[in-house]
Amino acid sequence: MSEISAEEWTAILLSLRIASIATLIATPLGIAVAWLLARRDFWGKAALDAVIYLPLVLPPVVTGYLLLLTFGRKGLVGGWLADYLGIVFAFRWTGAALACGVMSFPLLVRPIRLSIEAVDRKLEQAASTLGAAPWRVFLTVTLPLALPGILAGMVLGFAKAIGEFGATITFVSNIPGETQTISAAIYSLTQTPDGDIAALRLVIVSIAIAMIALIASEILARRATLRLHGY
């Protein structure tokens, strides 16, 4: 096994960047949605629940195509964003981050929702009798107590984002240096004669990234539990 080539490094770093940004932007949104689903009753809640989980069960190529129709240069939202805000998703790394964010969203939301549901509402009531407004109850009681679940959701979301393939390649194609993530690079290499060794190197790298993410999440969750419950 020779050394990792410059092109492979590009794909690795791009994947890390796309997955990190997708996770960082999806997390606050995921916390908000998880809180809504866990703590509020409203009209259309069942529909919101279903839409969020849709990317998990739809063929990724369908999600990617829908993203292309919506956020493409000629899409309803994509056209508006490009014309008025100068934000372009189609065939850019930003589009890859969007696809990864959408695809990983259900995996990110679920543990956060479960951990918010597990927070004892009696503690939230106690906080309100001590003068905490609902948003401060959320920030000082609910959020810290749900922290292990939030970290778990972030790691799951990140792991999904880094491995995302179908929706990304459909939406933003497979452009080296712009949208070619590790998965897309492996796919290209397996289609190339003599690409096997390079593909194997990237396979090992992706296994390593996944392992590091899982171990990190385990350590973080254990620390959070220790901090929260003292054991």
Partner 1 sequence: MLLVDVEKQLGDFRLAVSFTSNGPVTGLFGNSGAGKTSIINMIAGLIAPDRGRIALDGQDLDNTASHLHMPPHKRRIGYVFQDARLFPHLNVRQNLDYGRRMNGLDLDKSADPRAVRLLDIVLLLDRLPAQLAGGDRQRAALGRAPLAKPKLLLLDEPLGALDESRKAEILPYFIRLRDEASVPMVLVSHDANEIRKLATAVVMLKGGKVTAFGGVEILPKASF
Q: If binding is defined by CB under 8 A, does position 123 make contact with partner 1?
A: yes
Q: If binding is defined by CB under 8 A, does position 29 make contact with partner 1?
A: no
Core vs surface per residue 86-100: b (16+ CB within 10 A) or e:
eeebbbebbbbbbbb
The residue among 84 and 229 lying less far from partner 1, judged by its C-beta, is 229
The residue among 84 and 231 lying less far from partner 1, judged by its C-beta, is 231
The residue among 8 and 124 lying less far from partner 1, judged by its C-beta, is 124
Cα dihedral 208, 91, 175, 13, rounded to 10, equals -30
Query: Which of these segments, 20-28, 49-57, 139-147, 160-168, binds partner 1 (CB under 8 A)?
Result: 139-147
Say how many C-beta atoms besides its own lie within 10 A of residue 40's C-beta: 8
Q: If binding is defined by CB under 8 A, does position 132 make contact with partner 1?
A: yes
**Cα gap 96→166, rounded to integer Å:** 11
Binding mask 145-164 vs partner 1 (x if CB under 8 A, - otherwise)? x-------------------
The residue among 146 and 184 lying less far from partner 1, judged by its C-beta, is 146
**Cα gap 177→194, rounded to integer Å:** 21
Minimum gap (Å) between residue 215 Cβ and partner 1: 24
E strands present in the chain: none
DSSP state of 120: -
Residues 151/217, Cβ–Cβ less than 8 Å: yes
Minimum gap (Å) between residue 133 Cβ and partner 1: 5
**Cα gap 3→220, rounded to integer Å:** 32
Number of residues that bind partner 1 (CB under 8 A): 23
Residues 101/168, Cβ–Cβ less than 8 Å: no
Binds partner 1 (CB under 8 A): choice among 10, 20, 70, 128: 128
Q: If binding is defined by CB under 8 A, does position 122 make contact with partner 1?
A: yes
Handedness of CA 186, 192, 193, 198 (dihedral sign): negative
Q: If binding is defined by CB under 8 A, does position 134 make contact with partner 1?
A: yes
Minimum gap (Å) between residue 147 Cβ and partner 1: 8
Assigned token pair, 87: 């934000």
The residue among 11 and 152 lying less far from partner 1, judged by its C-beta, is 152
Query: Which of these segments, 45-53, 91-99, 131-139, 202-210, binds partner 1 (CB under 8 A)?
Result: 131-139
The residue among 40 and 122 lying less far from partner 1, judged by its C-beta, is 122
Handedness of CA 9, 15, 16, 17 (dihedral sign): positive
Instruction: Give the phi and the psi of residue 2 in degrees, each rounded to 5.
Output: -80, -175
Provide the binding-site residues for partner 1, judged by CB under 8 A. 122-123, 125-134, 136-137, 140-141, 144-145, 227-231
